Amino acid sequence: MSNTKVLPLLEPEVSEAVAPCCPPLTERPFTAEEAETAAGMFKALGDPVRLRLFSAVASHEGGEACVCDISDVGVSQPTVSHHLKKLKEAGLLTSERRGTWVYYRVEPSVLAAMGKLLTIAPAAA
Amino acid sequence: MSNTKVLPLLEPEVSEAVAPCCPPLTERPFTAEEAETAAGMFKALGDPVRLRLFSAVASHEGGEACVCDISDVGVSQPTVSHHLKKLKEAGLLTSERRGTWVYYRVEPSVLAAMGKLLTIAPAAA
């Protein structure tokens, strides 16, 4: 192996702010804009392989994982990378390169926001 | 008090059992089977129009709505019907015909199950 030093030259890749978008689904009809945002997050989790990868990252030791940790879902490495990219684009994962590997981490605020969408609001009048 | 017997006169239309399928996403990696089930529910909400319709039903007076109540999303009636069918197939809505109209209702157990998926489990060891 090499004894190359890992220099922290790179700033962590920060995804765009992922603000909670919407009220609970049961509170009032969503506007078109709210629906657009929230549907993007649901869609990202609407694929079995992506969901397995997301769950693998979310439940991994320390709440983060590199591709090397989570490739056990029966698809090729490029496919894994493709799905991780989609999850990042939806704001569900953030990533940071450290040395050779890119580490993925769940964005807890997004998870919380999605959970809130699915809470049951008091019955409408 | 009475010792009246409760007579099961009406069997409500029961959708296929929609059992909570999976642990929180942060608890452990999903199995392929769990991911398949959960991804189906997320996918159903992963379309903006479908999400607006779902939200319209979920937030409607009494927790149910007929197509006549919720067509205000800028798509044709057949498209509305198509999306409502998809939501039913995913187990997110149940429906019941009463007279001329079909009424849709959110399946609360499914909403709860999806909410549970998105809760944040204690950090993995």
CA nearest to B107, candidates B119, B97, B95: B95
pTM exceeding the 0.80 threshold for the entire prediction? no
Contacts of B38 in chain A (CB under 8 A): 45, 51
Average pLDDT over residues A7-26: 56
Instruction: Give the model's pLDDT for residue B119.
Output: 77
For residues A13 and A99, the model is more confident at: A99
Q: What are phi and psi of A114, to 5 degrees?
A: -65, -40
Contacts of B61 in chain A (CB under 8 A): 124-125
Provide, rounded to the nearest whole percent, the portion of chain B with pLDDT above 70.
Answer: 79
Quick one: closest CA in B to A121, which residue?
Answer: B59
Per-residue pLDDT at B122 exceeds 60: no
Are A63 and B108 within 8 A, CB to CB? no
For residues A115 and B4, the model is more confident at: A115
Nearest to B118 among A36, A52, A115 (CB): A115
Tokens of B112: 């709860």
Per-residue pLDDT at B38 exceeds 60: yes
